[in-house]
């Protein structure tokens, strides 16, 4: 699916299907899910019945059958337009789903046995835990984790981006998605899901919107609309005996027209479409939301927690320098740093080996390949190897290495803190290298703050969102990066449990929290946050814990996702304001038309000077119908969002959509009145 096609609002195919679905949705079983429009449909049925039997309720007058027929047609069109708005929103999601389904083929897989031999089986036969081999040109049969190999993978079927991405074992970037294609080299993959439960299957179900659940705010607004509808229904029912008592004859079809014009039909017809379109906008931004609630929560976020590495900084922390400690040898420092990084598959570990080789390291890789490797953990905050002669080489955070050396009876070099301070002040990350109880020096890992981050955080500050940077760096490095990036607060030497604690504290203060992550150790915090955005390149655990997944694996995208969430809430609020404000103009159009004959003083509120009672009622009814399709583009695209304080947003929307909701109907109803008056005179309804 091309970018141009993705961004097009309505294609010919979507239009044709939406028209068909508009009629299918007339089924009362479906319509009752939207109580406001269901009332309009009931009004259409009653009006149609009165067209066939015009005098059954004692109504009299010239052209009664024709008048009832016109009311019936307008009500029918009103319901169709509301159904059309929802069908268009659903059609956009279904179009994306169809495109994705084309990538979900019954592929074959090379299933490996314990001896390393493979046999070709159908992808549908694969079970969780199976090991498969994928080579150049093969489609990855199902979601999994790379356990061996390195290869370029084309993910354009999922992300829309043509540039292949590198997948390899180790670290947080070993996750692969079923349906993507290996374009070079090979991978051994452990399948992590059962058939039918892949990320692609879930993505198709979500964008189709077949099982879309209404969000809490949507349910609350729907309750308000139903309440307003019931109130106006009671008013209309009691209005008939009052009119009879006052000597005013009101046609049943006129009462139906009045009810339809007064209940919030505009927002009632667009409410579902706004919710679907909100999820659709997130999807077109290459983010998959696991629920509408997640998108809606983005609009209410108060606090945003961001990792430093890969989010605020580029994340490619590469070894830039080896700084020896007093009493140590530079060559020994380089060699020990290389030895303890040989089995470290992280970008940092590989960069240490590369820099060591450039600086003349003479370490024989084959000699150390069978060593016991000690992996980095959030608890120990260091990694390394155990040599065959019993020596332990470690590299890691300064406090962890200092503790390790002191426990072994060693001493801290006099100039170590000076080296650490220098690296930290420059915004780098220092890794201390030691062998048993002796510290040999510091590895300077260099990282850079991404351009434009200061402006982004300032924009978030304008809309009242607090930003907190979490990093495993020491406090001095963290403070330097935080100041350079412009975040509001930071947590240094942060462990996974620290992130959860930060989220918990913010939530206890009544705030909604968003965070990004890609690693398995991020999963608990992603699950705890109100909005958890996982990277598609991240681990399966992270994606399962989060309620949103970024297909482009851009951690900074959460900034835009929050704005999309706010746009959804603003759009719903703006169109609700517009819809309710509409009723003011309709009131001034219909009420004088009904009562002026019996109560001449009512002519004073006929400020639009509409031609006749019939033209006034029909003009208001026609405007009520056509305003729904005219607002569909706004419902689909959303009201344009500008970062500002909530008070200013409310004021702007009240002026634009509140005042506009009053002015536009006055102009529209008067214009329609001028157009239809001659027609009604020909039909003898004037």
Tokens encoding 64: 């009664």
Residue segments in the chain with a per-residue pLDDT below the cut of 70: 1-10, 57-62, 92-106, 157-163, 170-173, 199-200, 202-214, 292, 310, 315-316, 537, 597-598, 686
Which pair of tokens denotes residue 429?
A: 């990350």
CA distances from 49 to 42, 69, 71, 578 (A): 11, 9, 11, 32
C-alpha to C-alpha distance for 605 and 588, rounded to whole angstroms: 6
Q: What is the DSSP letter of 184?
A: E
β strands within 287-359, DSSP E: 287-289, 303-307, 318-324
CA distance 305 to 359: 39
348 is annotated as contributing to ligand binding: yes
In this structure, what are the phi and psi dihedrals at residue 39, rounded to the nearest 5 degrees?
A: -60, -40
Three-state secondary structure call for residue 443: strand
Q: What pLDDT does residue 48 have?
A: 92
CB 19 within 8 A of CB 88: no
Verify whether residue 307 is a known catalytic residue: yes
Residue written as tokens 């220092």?
430
Residue 522 assigned to a binding site:
yes
Measured between alpha carbons, how far is residue 347 from residues 117, 140, 194, 296, 433 in Å?
A: 31, 24, 31, 36, 17
Q: Dig out the tokens for 437 from the structure.
A: 């109880």
The per-residue pLDDT for 195 is: 73
Alpha carbon distance 458, 486 (integer Å): 8
Contact 443, 430 (CB under 8 A): yes
Q: How far is it, in rounded angstroms, from Cα 395 to Cα 444?
A: 12
d(CA 313, CA 323): 23
Is 415 annotated in some ligand binding site?
A: no
Residue 455 labelled as part of a binding site:
no
Position 7 scores a pLDDT of 47
Q: Is 554 annotated as a binding residue?
A: no
Could you say which of 130, 172, 307, 530 is catalytic?
307
Q: What is the pLDDT of residue 412?
A: 94
Q: Does 518 appear as a known binding residue?
A: yes
Residue 168 CA to residue 151 CA, distance in Å, equals 7
41 is in an annotated binding site: no
**How far, in Å, CA of 222 to CA of 611, rounded?**
36
User: Is 378 part of any known ligand binding site?
Assistant: yes
Task: Tell me the two tokens of residue 508.
Answer: 């206890």
| 166 strand-pairing partners | 152
CATH numbers and ranges of domains, the chain: 12-94+207-282+564-683 (no CATH), 127-194 (2.70.150.10), 305-312+450-551 (3.40.50.1000), 316-446 (3.40.1110.10)
Task: Evaluate whether 64 touches 52 at the Cβ level (below 8 Å).
Answer: no
Residue 215 counted as an annotated binding residue: no
CB atoms within 10 A of CB 544: 16
Nearest to 441 by CA among 342, 356, 315: 356
**H-helix or E-strand spanning residue 532:** strand 531-535
Residue 382 in marked binding region: yes
**Which residues are 444's β-sheet partners?**
321, 430
Q: Taking the alpha carbons of 454, 457, 459, 461 in that order, is the dihedral positive or negative? A: negative
- Rounded Cα–Cα distance for residues 48 and 571 (Å): 35
Cβ atoms 315, 450 nearer than 8 A: no
| Residues β-bridged to residue 639 | none
- Report whether 477 belongs to an annotated binding site: no
The answer to whether 381 is a known ligand-binding residue is: yes
Beta strand 131-135 with 181-191 is: antiparallel
| C-beta of residue 394 within 8 angstroms of C-beta of residue 381 | no
Token pair recorded at residue 357:
């080789």
User: Angle at CA 406, nearest 5°, toward 401 and 409?
Assistant: 135
DSSP state of 596: T
Q: Which residues contact 42 (CB under 8 A, 6 or more apart)?
A: none
| CB contact at 8 A, 485 and 448 | no
Are the CB atoms for 237 and 49 separated by under 8 Å? no
Per-residue model confidence (pLDDT) at position 558: 80
Q: Is 376 annotated as a binding residue?
A: yes
DSSP string, 556-577: THHHHHHHHHHHHHHHHHHHHH
How many H-runs (helices) and E-runs (strands) does the chain carry? 24, 20
Neighbours of 621 (CB within 10 A): 28
Q: What are the two backbone dihedrals, phi and then psi, of residue 72, each rounded to the nearest 5 degrees?
A: -60, -45
Residue 311 token pair: 């989010």
So what's the pLDDT on residue 158? 63
Helix (H/G/I), strand (E/B), else coil: 116: coil
* CA–CA dist 468, 507 (Å, integer): 14
């Amino acid at each position: 699916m091309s970018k141009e096609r993705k961004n097009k609002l309505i294609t010919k195919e979507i239009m044709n299907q939406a028209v068909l679905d508009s009629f299918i949705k007339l089924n009362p079983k479906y319509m009752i899910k939207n109580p406001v429009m269901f009332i309009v449909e009931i009004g259409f049925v009653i009006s149609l019945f009165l067209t066939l039997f015009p005098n059954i309720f004692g109504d009299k007058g010239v052209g009664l059958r024709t008048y009832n027929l016109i009311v019936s047609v307008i009500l029918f069109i009103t319901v169709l337009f509301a159904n059309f708005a929802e069908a268009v929103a659903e059609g956009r999601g279904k179009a994306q789903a169809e495109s994705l389904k084309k990538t979900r083929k019954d592929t074959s897989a090379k299933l490996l046995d314990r001896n390393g031999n493979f046999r070709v089986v159908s992808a549908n036969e694969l079970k969780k835990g199976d090991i498969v081999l994928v080579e150049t040109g093969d489609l990855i049969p199902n979601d999994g984790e790379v356990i061996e190999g390195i290869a370029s993978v084309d993910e354009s079927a999922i992300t829309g981006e043509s540039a292949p991405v590198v997948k390899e074992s180790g670290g947080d970037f070993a996750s692969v998605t079923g349906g993507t294609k290996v374009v070079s080299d090979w991978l051994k993959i452990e399948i992590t899901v059962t058939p039918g439960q892949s990320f692609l299957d879930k993505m198709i179900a979500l964008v189709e919107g077949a099982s879309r659940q209404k969000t809490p705010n949507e349910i609350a607004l729907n309750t308000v609309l139903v309440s307003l509808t019931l109130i106006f229904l009671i008013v209309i029912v009691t209005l008939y005996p009052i009119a009879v008592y006052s000597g005013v004859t009101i046609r049943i079809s006129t009462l139906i027209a009045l009810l339809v014009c007064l209940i919030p039909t505009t927002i009632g017809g667009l409410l579902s479409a706004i919710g679907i379109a909100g999820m659709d906008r997130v999807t077109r931004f290459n983010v998959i939301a696991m629920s509408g609630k997640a998108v809606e929560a983005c609009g209410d976020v108060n606090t945003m927690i961001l990792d430093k590495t890969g989010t605020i900084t580029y994340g490619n922390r590469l070894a830039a320098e080896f700084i020896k400690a007093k009493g140590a040898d530079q060559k020994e420092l380089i060699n020990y740093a290389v030895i303890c990084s040989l089995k470290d598959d992280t970008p940092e570990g590989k960069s240490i080996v590369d820099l060591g080789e450039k600086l003349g390291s003479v370490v024989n890789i084959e000699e150390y390949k069978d060593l016991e490797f000690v992996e980095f953990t959030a608890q120990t905050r260091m990694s390394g190897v155990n040599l065959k002669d019993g020596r332990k080489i470690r590299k890691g955070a300064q406090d962890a290495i200092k503790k390790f050396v002191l426990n072994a009876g060693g001493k801290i070099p006099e100039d170590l803190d000076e080296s650490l301070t220098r690296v930290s002040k420059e915004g780098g990350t220092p890794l201390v290298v030691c062998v048993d109880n002796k510290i040999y020096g510091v590895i300077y890992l260099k990282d850079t703050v991404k351009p434009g981050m200061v402006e982004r955080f300032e924009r978030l500050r304008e809309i009242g969102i607090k930003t907190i940077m979490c990093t495993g760096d020491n406090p001095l490095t963290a403070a330097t990066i935080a100041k350079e990036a412009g975040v509001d607060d930071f947590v240094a030497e942060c462990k996974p449990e620290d992130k959860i604690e930060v989220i918990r504290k913010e939530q206890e203060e009544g705030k909604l929290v968003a965070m990004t992550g890609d690693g398995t150790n991020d999963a608990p915090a992603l699950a705890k946050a109100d909005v958890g955005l996982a990277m598609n390149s991240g681990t399966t655990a992270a994606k399962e814990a989060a309620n949103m997944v970024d297909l482009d694996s851009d951690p900074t995208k959460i900034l835009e996702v929050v704005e999309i969430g706010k746009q959804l809430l603003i759009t719903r609020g703006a169109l609700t304001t517009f819809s309710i404000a509409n009723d003011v103009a309709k009131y001034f159009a219909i009420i004088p038309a009904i009562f002026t004959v019996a109560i001449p003083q009512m002519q004073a509120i006929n400020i639009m000077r509409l031609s006749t009672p019939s033209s006034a009622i029909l003009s208001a009814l026609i405007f009520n119908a056509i305003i729904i399709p005219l607002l569909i583009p706004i419902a689909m695209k959303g009201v344009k969002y500008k970062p500002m304080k909530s008070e200013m947003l409310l004021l702007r929307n009240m002026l634009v959509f509140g005042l506009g909701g009053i002015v536009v109907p006055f102009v529209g109803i008067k214009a329609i009145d001028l157009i239809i008056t001659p027609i009604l005179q020909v039909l003898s309804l004037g």
